[in-house]
Structure formats: C-alpha cells, structure tokens
Amino acid sequence: MVLIYIPGIKYELETKVVKMLPIGELLRWIISTPVQFNIGRRFYAGSYKALRHGSTNMDVLIALGTNAAYFYSVYSVLRAASSPTFKDTEFFETSSMLISCILLGGFGQGEDF
C-alpha cells in the first residue's frame, strides 16, 4: 500500500503481467499469503475448535472476515489474469491488516477495551 506513494514506483506496479493483472496485485498476493495462513493459523485453529463444539467466538469472526477478503481477492486476481477487460479491486491488504492489527493490538485475547 505504501509503495504506490513513492514517485516512479506506482507506474511500475501498474505494469500488466498477464492481460489485466498488474505486478502490484501479484506482489500483494505473494506477500499476504504467508500472513493469512502462517501468522493467522491460530485463528483457524481456534475457530475449528469452537465450531466443533457448536459455538462461535472471536476466532470464527476473524477467520470468516479475513477469508472473505483474501479469497475474493484471489478470485479477482485470477479473473484479471484470464480476462482482457476485467477491472476490479482486490483486498489482500485488508486481510493482512486485520490479522496484524488484531495480533499486535491484542484484540480477541480477553482484554477490556
């Protein structure tokens, strides 16, 4: 997200790799995947345990929200790579930002706000 504000880099990030897929989207996908599945693994484990016991908790909410943003973005990237006219927005930074802010801020660990 920050790189687009550096002069000269914005235009390089908008260079198309395949059809309507720019380099910037591909880089965001590559960078956000480890955040989503390695760093966010604890939310998947917690939501699995909660759902297995027939309840929901904050882990379920986080996993659903970040998965919605991530997998919609994957769809958007794949569609842009296969279509000469597709133009849409992807939200990889949203899922990574949510996971990072929750873990760094300590939300969902029982603290009072």
Write the pLDDT tens digit of every residue in 48-78: 999 999 999 999 999 999 999 999 999 999 9
Beta carbons of 93 and 83 less than 8 angstroms apart? no
Pick from 88, 90, 86, 89: nearest CA to 32: 90
Q: Is residue 111 part of a domain?
A: no
Q: Note down the domain range covering 56.
A: 16-105
Q: Is residue 72 part of a domain?
A: yes
The tens place of each residue's pLDDT in the chain, 113 residues long, gives: 677 777 788 788 888 888 888 888 899 999 999 999 999 999 999 999 999 999 999 999 999 999 999 999 999 999 989 988 888 888 999 999 999 999 998 655 555 44
Residue written as tokens 């597709």? 86
* pTM exceeding the 0.75 threshold for the entire prediction: yes
Q: Is residue 26 part of a domain?
A: yes
Q: Is residue 34 part of a domain?
A: yes
**How many structural domains comprise the chain?**
1
Q: How far is CA 91 from CA 5, 51, 59, 80, 86, in A?
A: 18, 26, 20, 14, 16
